[in-house]
Chains A and B, each alone.
Chain A
Amino acid sequence: MKHLASYMLYIAARLGLAAITVFGVASLVFFGMRLIPGTYADLFFPLATEAERAEINAQYGLDAPVFVQYVKWIGAMLQGDFGTSIVTRGPVIDEVVARLPLTLELASLALIMIAFVGFPLGVVSGMFHGSAVSQTGRHASTLLMSIPNFVLGTVFLYLFSVYSLGLKAGGWSPMSDGLLENLRHALLPSFTLSITGLGLVLATARSSVLGVMGQDHILAAVSRGLEPRAIFTRHIFRNSLIPVVTIFAIVAGYLLGGTVLVETVFSLDGVGRLLVNSIIRRDYPVVQTGVILTAAFFVLMNTIADILYGFIDPRVADRQDG
């Protein structure tokens, strides 16, 4: 089948492009970090003498030309070696992995809220164009996108320390200590994390549904006497998913970046806060690794969105030009 073949080609092209992008990200970060004055030896052993530093630099291969260092560094990363933390002197990857569950849980909960609240609200708001529901949806989405999550988080911190309502603002309880206790801690930060994405998905779903309803094939479906429910399930829904899928990848970016702020507000020990603290402590190997891994994850999300996009809209795969 012609279409299937071009879809496979499309997937391959997307994956290739993602690999190139991640490689570009890593390179940009590597050379960007070289702009910071001082070598690793200065950072690891600030009190060492000049001779000792030269020795250390030689030991870590830091006396080699930058390009050689770059190739070695990329090679090490491909084998899962992301270097050593200046602060803990342990492997960087351990630092990140230890904090990953918390961050992933926050992001997943936020994503669930966005998908199951933001998206349906957006669709409803789009379907009833011109009504009060639709106008409310429009204003709500703008408001949600305008509240910085750290402002909302700070306000929550205050409100819920006064009136608890069973929810905990600040602090963490891992899932292994019981799901209920875990959710009591996770709900406020993950909702705080979700608001920008919530607004964005609401707005996108709304305008997408509105746009699809104006398309000729919907008029044609109406002219065939289909009931609104059938028109929605057979024609509007799938077509309106196209931009929403793309926006979900962008939302993933907001969530990854947002964890930095939300974890700081709620004093949660996740990857985001690790990054901020590492910058302040000048623990550059951790910063470098955290940034590259986050960007790689984001690129992966975008690639999945592109692949889904090609699945939902058969035109996409056939239209590719590079």
Chain B
Amino acid sequence: MAETDIAQAKKAGRRKGALSVFFARAGIGTMIAVALLAIMVIVGLAEPYLPTTAAKAVASGPRRAPPSTEFIFGTDNLGRSVFARILEGIRLTFLLSAVAVFLAGVVGSIIGMAAAWYRGVVDTLIARLADILFAFPSMIFGLIVAAILGPGTLSAIVAIFFIVLPTMVRVVRGAALGIVGRDFVVAATISGASTFRILFVHVLPNVASVTVVQMAYLMSIGMIIESGLSFLGLGVQPPLSSLGVLLRENSAFMNIAPWVVLAPGAVLTLAILCVNYVGDAARSIIEPSQPRPLE
């Protein structure tokens, strides 16, 4: 009876849901990060329909005008509104990383679960392939992808995909290994469920939380890679403006018009910072740590 009580208490705890636990534990910093992130995502999604798009055209205003009420972050060397271009930059930087990280999350989950399920040769092979991908420092891998596919948006997505994929595989494999040996999976196997069914009905829901938290983390890596490649001229190509492109194009004018670089640099840093804070908070729910300070 005592055990039933505990089981019920646990169930009630679980019913509260990850999101409510997240917000219950979040500090003021995390809340601000969540709010800013939400604003950036909404702005990014809505950007093509915003009235600011017109100001992205060349000669929308005077060249290199300092920040004013009309142009919040001033204008660039071609008289385009820096603010309007930053909004597009937010859209592209988030979108490219999100697409790549999401694809890596899906593919990585499948590969990771397969490694945990089949073990043996499959597992070893996957581990070695992951090792090879891990052996490239991420920016260097971005370079080789840009060399092979040519500079462009596709290169950025492919590079991010392969850079975050091995991490995803390892994390999912680790989480799935703990699930595969559990009673309910063994029971499902004995009752003749197909491998597909076991992995997607029984294992996936149990590794999903780890996957999502990891994706939040990898998102910031994706944004750094995307903006880095674009900064080098190997990612998004002008006239499209990701945040990295803005820094690249405008850095020549830093001395005469600092705002053209400071504004996109600050927005990029803020965006990555918010993603990292939210990722940290999400992770602390999965791995709560309770150190005990003693004298």
Contact = CB atoms under 8 A, between A and B. Distances in A.
B135 A21 contact: yes
A310 B19 CA distance: 40
B148 A32 contact: yes
Interface in A109-152: 129-130, 139, 142-143, 145-148, 150-151
Contact of A148 (B142, B269, B294): B269
B290 interface: yes
Interface on chain A toward B: helix, strand, loop, or mixed SS?
helix
B17 interface: no
Interface in A8-43: 17, 20-22, 24-25, 28-29, 32-33, 35-36
B254 A154 contact: yes
A287 B144 contact: yes
A158 B261 contact: yes
B276 interface: yes
A298 interface: yes
Interface residues of B, number: 50
B136 to A, nearest CB: 5
Interface in B236-265: 244, 247, 251, 254-255, 258, 261-262, 265
Interface stretch (B74-82, B107-115, B220-228): B220-228
Interface residues of A, number: 59
Of B128, B251, B262, B280, most A-chain CB atoms within 10 Å? B251
A36 B147 contact: yes
A253 interface: yes
Contacts of A254: 137
Contacts of B124: 322
Interface string B115-144: 000000000100011011001111110111
A256 interface: yes
A162 to B, nearest CB: 8
B273 A291 contact: no
B160 interface: no
A273 to B, nearest CB: 10
Contacts of A299: 135
Of B124, B144, B268, B289, most A-chain CB atoms within 10 Å? B144
B294 A260 contact: no
5 contacts: A148-B228, A148-B272, A150-B244, A294-B136, A295-B137
Q: 4 tightest CB-CB pairs across the interface, nearest first?
A: A257-B139, A257-B137, A253-B137, A24-B132
Given A146-B220, A155-B265, A252-B137, 12 more contacts: A17-B131, A21-B132, A32-B148, A33-B148, A146-B276, A147-B269, A155-B261, A260-B143, A261-B228, A264-B231, A287-B143, A295-B140
